[in-house]
Amino acid sequence: MAEEPVNVNEYQELARQALPKMYYDFYAGGAEDQYTLKENVEAFRRITFRPRVLIDVSKISLSTTILGYNVSAPIMIAPTAMHKLAHPEGEVATARAAAACNVIMILSYMSMCTVEEVASSCDAIRFFQIYVYKRRDITAQLVQRAERSGYKAIVLTVDVPRLGKREADIKNRMIAPQLKNFEGLLSTQVVSDEGSNVKAFADSTFDASLTWKDVGWLRSITKLPILVKGVLTHEDAIKAVEAGAAGIVVSNHGARQLDYSPATISVLEEVVHAVKGKVPVFVDGGVRRGTDVFKALALGAQAVLIGRPVVYGLAAKGETGVRRVAEMLKDELELTMALSGCPTIRDITRGHVITDRERLH
Ligand code: FNR
pLDDT at residue number 246: 98
pLDDT at residue number 317: 98
What separation, in Å, do the N-terminal and C-terminal C-alpha atoms of the chain show? 43
Q: DSSP assignment of 280-333, as one string?
A: -EEEESS--SHHHHHHHHHTT-SEEEE-HHHHHHHHHHHHHHHHHHHHHHHHHH
pLDDT digits (tens, 9 = 90+) for 65-123: 999 999 999 999 999 999 999 999 999 999 999 999 999 999 999 999 999 999 999 99
Which mutation among 256, 265, 289 tests ligand 1's pocket best, with the greatest number of atoms within 8 A of CB? Answer: 256
Per-residue pLDDT band for 162 (boundaries 50, 70, 90) equals very high
**Is residue 79 classed as helix, strand or coil in its secondary structure?**
coil
The closest-lying atom of ligand 1 relative to the alpha carbon of residue 229 is: 6
**Which residue type does 321 have?**
G
What is the ipTM metric for this complex?
0.99
Q: Whose CA is closest to 227, among 239, 200, 243, 245?
A: 245
The closest-lying atom of ligand 1 relative to the alpha carbon of residue 108 is: 9
Output the residue whose Cα is nearest ligand 1's atom 18. 80
pLDDT at residue number 228: 98
Binding residue per annotation — 114? Answer: no
Binding residue per annotation — 229? Answer: yes
Q: Whose CA is closest to 95, among 107, 84, 110, 86?
A: 107
Angle between helices 35-45 and 290-298 (to 10 degrees): 80
pLDDT digits (tens, 9 = 90+) for 311-329: 999 999 999 999 999 999 9
Q: How far is the CA of 285 from the centre of ligand 1 (A)?
A: 8
Output the residue whose Cα is nearest ligand 1's atom 24. 254
> Count of CB atoms within 10 A of residue 242's CB?
11
Residue 131, H or E segment: none
pLDDT digits (tens, 9 = 90+) for 237-266: 999 999 999 999 999 999 999 999 999 999
Residues with CB under 6 A from ligand 1: 26-27, 40, 78-81, 108-110, 129, 157, 229, 251, 253-254, 256, 284-287, 305-308, 311
Mean pLDDT of 155-178: 94
Among residues 83, 87, 253, 352, the one annotated as catalytic is 253
Binding residue per annotation — 108? Answer: yes
Question: Is the Cα dihedral 340, 342, 347, 348 positive or negative?
Answer: positive
Which mutation among 34, 35, 80 tests ligand 1's pocket best, with the greatest number of atoms within 8 A of CB? Answer: 80
pLDDT at residue number 360: 77
Binding residue per annotation — 129? Answer: yes
Per-residue pLDDT band for 2 (boundaries 50, 70, 90) equals low
Name every residue whose Cβ is closer than 8 Å to that of residue 354 and which is 6 or more positions away in sequence: 47, 48, 49, 50
Q: What is the mean pLDDT of the chain?
A: 96
> Count of CB atoms within 10 A of residue 170's CB?
15
Q: What contacts 24+ positions apart, CB below 8 Å, involve 93-97? A: 93/314, 93/318, 93/319, 93/322, 94/310, 94/314, 94/319, 94/322, 95/121, 95/122, 95/124, 95/126, 96/121, 96/122, 96/124, 96/319, 97/313, 97/319, 97/320, 97/321, 97/322, 97/323, 97/326
Output the residue whose Cα is nearest ligand 1's atom 13. 80
Output the residue whose Cα is nearest ligand 1's atom 25. 307
234 in catalytic set: no
The closest-lying atom of ligand 1 relative to the alpha carbon of residue 27 is: 15
pLDDT at residue number 12: 98
Name every residue whose Cβ is closer than 8 Å to that of residue 170 and which is 6 or more positions away in sequence: 194, 195, 196, 199
Q: How far is the CA of 256 from the centre of ligand 1 (A)?
A: 8
The closest-lying atom of ligand 1 relative to the alpha carbon of residue 40 is: 31
Per-residue pLDDT band for 185 (boundaries 50, 70, 90) equals very high
Q: How far is the CA of 254 from the centre of ligand 1 (A)?
A: 5
Mean pLDDT of 123-148: 97
> Count of CB atoms within 10 A of residue 61's CB?
14
The closest-lying atom of ligand 1 relative to the alpha carbon of residue 251 is: 23
Helix ranges (H only) for the chain are 10-18, 21-28, 35-45, 90-101, 115-121, 136-148, 167-172, 197-205, 213-221, 234-242, 264-275, 290-298, 308-340, 356-360
